[in-house]
Structure 1
Amino acid sequence: MMQSKSIAILIADDDAEDRMLLKEALEENHLKNTLHFVENGEELMDYLHHRGKYADKEKYPLPGLILLDLNMPKKDGREALKEIKQDADLKLLPVVVLTTSKAEEDIIRTYDLGVSSFITKPVTFASLVDMTKTLTEYWFELVQLPNSSHK
């Protein structure tokens, strides 16, 4: 049943501390998934299209789940989400917004753009560990995801 071993998680967040805390929270849950990190929307799109330093598809596989921060430099999460959902090859990828924003317009806009879930970042590390446990159980044990080799 556990299919999580082979599914990569791509985390797009410009905050180094948030990336580290997410990584530690996921490790705390003994998650076997490979984690990849990008720091802005441009890097996210480069990764997804295997451009530049992300050209190696073995090293940078298409993720089974994207955790997306909204407020990032160069290209923010909203713009990246819109691009992903308009791309025939990427639109089926589950994208979970994980952000400090609680703004109603962000929630409405991201769902309108096709986000899978919108989660406000927990304030404490303990609640981050709980949230990542629930999130990964949901996405990797409950949900039936499309096979990424459908192309």
Structure 2
Amino acid sequence: MVYPANGKPSVILLVEDNPADQEIMKMAFNDDDEFSAKVLAITIENGVEAMEYLNRKGEYSDSGSSPRPDLILLDINIPLMDGKAVLKEIKSKSELKNIPVVMFTSSENEKDIVESYALGANAYLTKPDEIDDFVWMIQSTGFYWLFMAKLSSNREFG
């Protein structure tokens, strides 16, 4: 496994309000040697804060402490601004639209799936019930999007 071209760890923005799911997601990246030194996972708990981070507003105005994400894992059912509204805003901004966004949610509702893809989601994954399956899915998703997929070199960020 290699670092991105800039030699720095890849940044994953986890937009998730459930503390138990946050811990499992962080564990998936931090407890695996393949990821721990190669990935920086940043957790945000609501949609408004996610957009503040991505737009470099308020406490996130410093690019050094708020690096551009290489991947966003986004729950649909988050407070203040739901995941679909966050996705819509991300995909409407030229400086953000190339960041892969994977909807990672407990919703199996067909309407949520269809709307998420229509809004530009790169993938839609349903959270497994078993912790081992949850960890495997997070690690596999991170590995694919960060180290296998060829993404646009247009990496400009607010």
Sort the TM-score into its range (normalised by shorter chain). Answer: over 0.9
From 29, 39, 45, the equivalent of 2:45 is: 39
Deviation of residue 137 (structure 1)?
A: 1.9
TM-score (norm 1): 0.93
Q: Distance in 2 between matches of 1:127 and 1:34?
A: 21
Q: Distance in 2 between matches of 1:26 and 1:143?
A: 18
Give the secondary structure class of the aligned counterpart of 1:118.
strand
From 2, 8, 21, the equivalent of 1:18 is: 21
Q: Distance in 2 between matches of 1:100 and 1:150?
A: 32
Structure 2 spans left out of the alignment, 5+ residues: none
Indicate if the aligned counterparts of 2:10 and 2:40 stay in contact, CA closer than 8 A.
yes
Aligned position for 1:82: 88
Indicate if the aligned counterparts of 2:95 and 2:156 stay in contact, CA closer than 8 A.
no
Q: Distance in 2 between matches of 1:87 and 1:149?
A: 13
Moved over 6 A (4+): none
Q: Distance in 1 between matches of 2:148 and 2:140?
A: 10
Indicate if the aligned counterparts of 1:42 and 1:75 stay in contact, CA closer than 8 A.
yes
Query: What residue identity is the alignment partner of 1:14?
Result: D
Indicate if the aligned counterparts of 2:15 and 2:45 stay in contact, CA closer than 8 A.
yes
From 131, 140, 143, the equivalent of 2:149 is: 143
**What RMSD, in angstroms, separates the aligned Cα atoms of the two structures?**
1.5
Greater helix percent: which structure? 1
From 127, 133, 140, the equivalent of 1:134 is: 140
Q: Distance in 1 between matches of 2:41 and 2:153?
A: 19
Deviation of residue 148 (structure 1)?
A: 5.1
Indicate if the aligned counterparts of 2:24 and 2:135 stay in contact, CA closer than 8 A.
no
1:114 aligns with 2:105: no
Q: Distance in 2 between matches of 1:150 and 1:44?
A: 18
Deviation of residue 133 (structure 1)?
A: 2.2
Query: What residue identity is the alignment partner of 1:29?
Result: D
Indicate if the aligned counterparts of 1:29 and 1:129 stay in contact, CA closer than 8 A.
no
